[in-house]
Every structure is written in structure tokens, then in C-alpha cells.
């Protein structure tokens, strides 16, 4: 389990979708004066070099953030996300990619709480050093899934939960589903964001449906599901075709913001003629 390093995949098409959604959720939550808490269950190292040997192995960022980085014609929500990536690269060149804790570090206010969990010892050390001066922040090397009982309900009452495990072991699918249910049972208005890979694997193909059913039963403000398909599986049915985000209790603005961005993401990030997106929601 601890062999996974996100540095191999930093800035790819899945990161673009995930961090676009994360940015929009955090921007919305920051519109109210009252502080909120962000819980990141699989935080990673905080930032990644796209010039390093890990990222260069498959250069996945070249098919993701690199397709958007120098664009001046992006829809406003996408331009905002890309501006954060640019801010992570002070010399203007795309050399580093910000993980979710770095995105949060840009967007959260000092009064907002950040709770970041990362089990990999090297990534945990890097993350702890990166966030050591940020107020109202705790970085832990405990299991992020197991943290929900301690974190929710939050003392700020308003909270967002991001779960994006590597799914290298199939039990992650069941853990994500159980964690969503637990979070909504403990705090039914928590904004829960779940990222998942689009694979030709039963657990992957069924996850969105199972998340919808759980949110139908427990989420106070409905759900939103978005999926971006950029490529086809190989001849044996292997390979990540795209990724999705499921959001329980989404901001009411999120659907229209994503609808504005997704056609361009299909055009820029799609790797075959059948590239497409799904965007659906159930409001309460």
C-alpha cells in the first residue's frame, strides 16, 4: 500500500478534474465569513516536481495541466484553477505541480482549519514541512479513512472532506463508500468529495451508483457526479480511461461552473475521438 507515489501522476488529466472541483468547492465555502474545516484523507506530499524522474517516467502532466498552463482563453473557473498552478511556479515555467494540500494552502483563509492525513513516511515529512507555518493546520501520519470519527462533526460545523485514495487495492472502493456513509451520518451537511479512476473493473464501474444511493439516503443537499473520459482501455481492457468526482452536498454553483469547463477539457485533454464527459446531479 505504501508503494504508491502520486509524483508519477502529478498534473495528469485526473488531477486537473479533481483540483478544478476542489478549487470551486473551497472558493464557494470561503464566501461565508464563518470558518470551515477541510479534511484531506490522502494528502500526498503537497507538491511535486514535473521535472523529476518520477513525473518524467510517463510525463502524464503533458496530457493534463501542460495542455492548459499557457492558455489565455479558459472559462473563469478553469482559469482560476490554472492561476493557482501558476502561483506554485514563481518563475512562470511549469516545473512544479501543487497537490490538494497546496491548492488548499492557496485558497483557505488563516481562520479555516486544514486536517491533512498521509501514511507514506517520505510524503508525510515533506507535507509536514511544507505546511508547518500554516495556522489552524494539523498533518498526521494516521489512516485518513479512520480519521472521520475524530474529525466529524467539526468544531467549525462547516466542513469539506476530500477522499482520493490510490485504489491500488480493491478494498479502497469499499472504504470510500463506508467513509462517505460515516461522514454523512455524523454530519449530514458535510461536502464530501470522492475521486475515483475510470477503469474496466467492476468495483470502479459500480462505485458512482453506490455513492449515489448512499447520498440519496443521507446527504442534506443532494449530490453531483462528473466524469471525464479521455482515452480507451488497451486491447486487454487495462488502463485508466479517465476519472470521476462524486460530490455529496455540492455547492449549488458547481454544476454550471463545470458545464462551462467540460467541453474544453474534452477538446484539450481528449486522446481519441470518443473522449467525452458525464455531468449529472440530484438536488434536494
Cβ contact 219:188 at 8 Å: yes
- Residue 84: which residues within 8 A CB-CB, separation 6 or more? 19, 23, 98, 103, 106, 107
Q: In this structure, what C-alpha cell is assigned to residue 199?
A: 477503469
Q: Helix, strand or coil for residue 137?
A: strand
List 164, 172, 216, 256, catalytic entry: 164
**Percent helix, strand and coil across the chain, each to the nearest 5:** 40, 20, 40
Quick one: DSSP state of residue 242?
E
Q: How far is CA 20 from CA 23, 78, 194, in A?
A: 5, 7, 13
- Residue 267: which residues within 8 A CB-CB, separation 6 or more? none
15 is catalytic: no
Q: Mind telling me the catalytic residues?
A: 164
Amino acid at each position: 500500500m505504501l508503494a504508491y507515489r502520486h509524483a508519477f501522476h502529478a498534473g495528469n488529466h485526473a488531477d486537473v478534474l479533481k483540483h478544478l472541483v476542489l478549487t470551486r468547492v473551497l472558493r464557494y465555502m470561503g464566501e461565508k465569513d464563518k470558518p470551515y474545516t477541510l479534511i484531506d484523507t490522502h494528502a500526498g506530499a503537497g507538491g511535486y516536481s514535473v521535472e523529476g524522474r518520477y513525473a518524467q517516467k510517463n510525463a502524464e502532466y503533458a496530457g493534463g495541466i501542460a495542455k492548459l498552463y499557457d492558455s489565455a482563453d479558459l472559462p473563469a473557473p478553469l482559469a482560476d484553477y490554472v492561476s493557482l498552478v501558476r502561483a506554485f511556479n514563481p518563475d512562470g515555467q511549469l516545473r512544479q505541480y501543487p497537490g490538494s494540500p497546496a491548492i488548499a494552502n492557496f485558497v483557505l483563509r488563516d481562520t479555516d482549519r486544514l486536517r491533512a492525513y498521509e501514511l507514506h513516511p517520505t510524503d508525510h515529512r515533506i507535507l509536514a514541512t511544507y505546511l508547518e507555518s500554516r495556522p489552524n493546520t494539523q498533518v498526521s501520519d494516521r489512516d485518513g479513512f479512520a480519521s472521520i470519527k475524530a474529525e466529524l462533526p467539526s468544531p467549525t460545523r462547516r466542513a469539506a472532506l476530500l477522499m482520493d485514495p490510490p485504489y491500488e487495492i480493491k478494498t479502497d472502493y469499499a472504504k470510500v463508500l463506508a467513509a462517505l456513509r460515516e461522514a454523512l451520518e455524523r454530519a449530514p451537511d458535510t461536502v464530501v468529495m470522492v475521486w475515483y479512476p475510470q477503469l474496466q473493473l467492476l468495483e470502479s464501474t459500480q462505485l458512482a451508483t453506490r455513492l449515489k444511493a448512499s447520498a440519496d439516503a443521507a446527504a442534506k443537499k443532494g449530490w453531483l457526479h462528473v466524469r471525464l473520459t479521455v482515452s480507451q482501455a488497451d486491447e486487454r481492457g487495462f488502463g485508466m480511461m479517465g476519472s470521476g468526482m462524486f460530490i455529496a452536498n455540492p455547492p449549488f454553483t458547481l454544476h454550471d461552473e463545470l458545464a462551462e469547463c467540460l467541453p474544453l477539457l474534452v477538446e484539450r485533454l481528449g486522446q481519441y475521438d470518443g473522449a467525452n464527459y458525464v455531468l449529472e446531479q440530484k438536488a434536494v
